[in-house]
Amino acid sequence: MKGDDTRFLTGTDEHSINIAQSALDEGRSARAFVDEKVGYFKVAEDALAISPDRFIRTTDPDHVRAAQEMVRRAHANGDIYLGTYEGWYCPNEGFRNATDVQETARGTICPNHPEVPLQWLTEKNWFFRLSAYQERLERHYEEHPDFVQPDYRRNEMLGFIRGGLEDFSISRERTPGGWGIPFPIASNGSSSRREDGTWDPEAGVIYVWYDALINYITGAGFPDDMGAFAHWWPADLHVIGKDIARFHTIFWPAMLWSAGLEAPRRVWVHGWLLAAGGERMSKSRGNFLDPNDFVTAFGADGARYLVLREVPFGRDAEVSWESFVRRYNADLANDFGNLLNRTVSMTNRYLEGERPAPTAEGQRDDAGVPPVSDLASTWSRVLERYRERLEGCALDDALAELWGVVGAANKVVDAEQPWVLAKAVKDGDEIAAARLRAVLGELLEACRLVGLAVAPFMPGVAPRVLAQLGYAFDYGADGNGGPPILEELRWGAHGGEPGRVSAPEPLFPRLDLEVATEPGGTTPT
């Protein structure tokens, strides 16, 4: 919306052994299994009005090419070598981490398949020379203090690096059903591609997360369209969950450097939404919030607002249905929704719907009345802080800044009491008439600015706000098109344009806490 070229990528990581095994357990192909799951993700994205430029799947053919090219580059650079990997091996799931297995009277077992004895297996694998990048990683962290955010995550990762980096394996000889991207290099160092174009299964597959990380550059055009890639890479921002921080902040930059590519500019690590008591949400615990139910109750815009406002973006947060309903009613229905509604209603009632221009700072309107409120100066301060918070990924603070203006505007209504001014106007008081127009002009402008500024959070609500105010909204559902938003976000940017407000229409119907419980029937917490 600022007018910058953007490319927004989401997608799915599909080559895990767990996926291959679950598909086998259900008696169907891994491909059919992931196709179904991807459908669920896309439905949820649509429901939440998340509009990536591309939804990338690691099973996409261009991603297969990208992953194989990255392996070739690492190999050409001398960063991968053949070694042996050993550990507990579950015939159903492949290698299990020592922390995932249990010692029992009958031997070592994996909790998912207690009937099947584990084997201590040795496998020939390719290893990536992560150890060669320790110094460069430390230097990178020092020279780019914002590379990993929030700061405490950066410190954790830096501590991990300083503790010494080991090489890690990036291939697997065997996976259930051979699931994975074919490893493009044979053990003798030549290509594993055969004359008929298929890949030699003896070469194994690329280990799942080595392949998964590469999705970011596939999405930027690597290696099929290096022109596009040069335009989009390095990415300005990776947003990831805390559980995969190490992969994105340590392994991934090293992989890129090995291939002669740049690291992303910034990686933001977000926390989790936790259920009551700080428990992790899971279906088996029955404390899972289905995003589709969420949208049903609050609307796509409401759901987006709540999740981003209620939670400090860098930390875990305990959330509950009740906390969301409270926040929805307080912020959206009562504060902002009602502000717009009362402002539009008064404009209709007292000015026959005609929209007066907002009085600018230091100016007098045509009737000689100076600004009646300090909303204009408040706005310019808030906008600056709003931008700072957004750029720092402090999304909850960013929204709080905007709501400071909402609060100020509600106070202005009570301080000026337009209904009293309107009575005086009826009695022929011309000064009151000018003041009434000034008050409503300032309130309408505050509504326009907040409604537009909040568009990245509530892309569906923003056009409805502007429509009620009689303004056009020229941006698409994905935020593209339209004028540079910072121009539009100036106080009085459309001050000279005559216009009419439309009939007031509540944006966020107030919810009854007792009624608005989870559709799944789970007891609200």
Side chain identity, residue 230: A
> Do 307 and 331 form a contact (C-beta atoms < 8 A)?
no
Considering the complex, state which of residue 1 and residue 179 has its C-beta at the smaller distance from RNA: 179
Considering the complex, state which of residue 206 and residue 295 has its C-beta at the smaller distance from RNA: 206
User: Is beta strand 238-241 parallel, antiparallel or unpaired with respect to 205-206?
Assistant: unpaired
- DSSP 8-state code for residue 490: S
> Do 177 and 169 form a contact (C-beta atoms < 8 A)?
no
Sheet of 279-280: strands edge to edge? 279-280, 273-275, 317-318
What is the sign of the dihedral through the CA atoms of 205, 207, 212 and 215? negative
Considering the complex, state which of residue 360 and residue 442 has its C-beta at the smaller distance from RNA: 442
Kind plus residue range of the DSSP H or E element containing 95: strand 94-96
Q: For 407-422, give one letter per residue: b (16+ CB within 10 A) or e.
A: ebbbebbeebebeebb
Considering the complex, state which of residue 26 and residue 243 has its C-beta at the smaller distance from RNA: 243
Q: State in angstroms the smallest separation of the CB of 400 from RNA.
A: 9
> Do 331 and 309 form a contact (C-beta atoms < 8 A)?
yes
Considering the complex, state which of residue 340 and residue 493 has its C-beta at the smaller distance from RNA: 340
Q: State in angstroms the smallest separation of the CB of 17 from RNA.
A: 5
Nearest 5°: phi and psi at 428?
A: 90, 15
Q: State in angstroms the smallest separation of the CB of 74 from RNA.
A: 15
Q: State in angstroms the smallest separation of the CB of 56 from RNA.
A: 14
Considering the complex, state which of residue 1 and residue 441 has its C-beta at the smaller distance from RNA: 441
Residues near RNA, by CB under 7 A: 13, 16-18, 85, 95-100, 130, 152, 155-156, 159-160, 163-166, 168-169, 207-209, 212, 242-246, 278, 312, 315-318, 323, 326, 329-330, 333-335, 337-338, 340-342, 345-346, 349, 407, 410-411, 413-414, 417-419, 504, 506-510
Q: State in angstroms the smallest separation of the CB of 412 from RNA.
A: 9
Q: Of 420, 68, 445, which is closest to residue 223 (Cα–Cα)?
A: 68
Residue 309, CA distances (Å) to 230, 403, 518 in order? 35, 11, 20
Q: State in angstroms the smallest separation of the CB of 250 from RNA.
A: 8
Q: State in angstroms the smallest separation of the CB of 490 from RNA.
A: 25
Q: For 493-508, give one letter per residue: b (16+ CB within 10 A) or e.
A: bbbeeeeebeebeebb
Q: What number of other Cβ atoms are within 10 A of residue 272's Cβ?
A: 17
Q: State in angstroms the smallest separation of the CB of 159 from RNA.
A: 5
Residue 479, CA distances (Å) to 48, 225, 335, 346, 490 in order? 14, 25, 25, 31, 18
Q: State in angstroms the smallest separation of the CB of 15 from RNA.
A: 7
What would the DSSP string read from start to end of 132-184? GGHHHHHHHHHH-TTSEESHHHHHHHHHHHHT----EE-EES--GGG-SPBPS
Considering the complex, state which of residue 1 and residue 64 has its C-beta at the smaller distance from RNA: 64
Considering the complex, state which of residue 490 and residue 510 has its C-beta at the smaller distance from RNA: 510
User: Is beta strand 148-149 parallel, antiparallel or unpaired with respect to 267-270?
Assistant: parallel
Considering the complex, state which of residue 392 and residue 504 has its C-beta at the smaller distance from RNA: 504
SS3 81: strand
Q: State in angstroms the smallest separation of the CB of 523 from RNA.
A: 18
Q: What number of other Cβ atoms are within 10 A of residue 212's Cβ?
A: 23
Considering the complex, state which of residue 209 and residue 294 has its C-beta at the smaller distance from RNA: 209
